[in-house]
Amino acid sequence: MVAQRIIQDSEVTARRRQPEDIRAYDLFLQGNRFSDVFTPEAQARAQAQFEEALQIDPGFARAHAGLAWIYLNRSVEMSVGVPREKDENRIEAFHQAKEALAKDPNDARVHSTFGYMCLMWRDFERAERHLGLARTLNPNDPLIQIFWAWVQSCIGKPELALHAAEIAFRLNPCHPPWYNYYLSHIMFRLRRYQEAASLLEQLILDAPGRRHPRRLEEAQQCGKACIAAVSALWQGDPAAGPSEHVDWLVDALYLQRAEDADRLREGLRLAGLPA
């Protein structure tokens, strides 16, 4: 799964406190633009700009937050199957988010970044707490609302999640397509399976070169293709097979409750996967 880290910053309110040098602020904005492009070249350029901003203004918390997303994107792209505790990029993403929080604990986006990184470590309690703080600090930020909604879905509160997702969609009617991934997660948790499937279908149809299976037979074909794709990207135990690949997929959906993971596995088994 590609890490979806699209920052929807208003350039006027991109930071609660201006950095001491406007040049650092300008580099941060440029870095944000490039970090929303998920190619190695764009990600490397964004990283360089965030790092240069920090050289100018070491106290610039948002630049640390930007680096956190860069490292998380790299983790998702390069560390399929690697245990979290051995994933250097994921470790660095958390470190950068922690640095951002230490330097500006009053910034809503900093709290949301730290909360998201906690979720990536399955630290559900801290993820909920910091995304809740972010939402309190800025309830009008659609990105914070949709991330908070996802956490609520992960911890087993899909009704709260749906309400927050609806707020996010209202606040940003021109939202990027990846919002629908989080909404599909919520719909699955609410047992609104057809709506979840339709949202995922649209996401896949919108992706270049992809097709979405509409029925069970096609779902089984998709399951085989999914396992093949994970296997091709696998960086974990070389002796791992399809069962381990499925375990990784289930883990990557960050479901806190065992019954939710079991329900997901039941669906994956129907698609022919060894879940």
- 3-state secondary structure labels for all residues of the chain: CCCCCCCCCCCCCCCCCCCCCHHHHHHHHHHHHHHCCCCHHHHHHHHHHHHHHHHHCCCCHHHHHHHHHHHHHHHHHHCCCCCHHHCHHHHHHHHHHHHHHHHCCCCHHHHHHHHHHHHHCCCHHHHHHHHHHHHHHCCCCHHHHHHHHHHHHHCCCHHHHHHHHHHHHHHCCCCCCCHHHHHHHHHHHCCCHHHHHHHHHHHHHHCCCCCCCCCHHHHHHHHHHHHHHHHHHCCCCCCCCHHHHHHHHHHCCCCCCHHHHHHHHHHHHHCCCCC
> pLDDT by residue (tens digit) across 242-258?
889 888 888 888 889 88
Please give the mean pLDDT across all residues of the chain. 86
The least confident of 44-48, 114-118, 128-132, 207-211 is 207-211
pLDDT at 4 over 80: no
Q: How confident is the model at residue 218 (pLDDT cuts 50, 70, 90)?
A: low
Taking 50 as the threshold, does the pLDDT of residue 187 lie above it? Answer: yes
Per-residue confidence band for 1, with pLDDT thresholds at 50, 70 and 90 = very low
Report the range of poorest mean pLDDT among 74-88, 90-104, 150-164: 74-88
Better-predicted residue by pLDDT, 2 or 86:
86
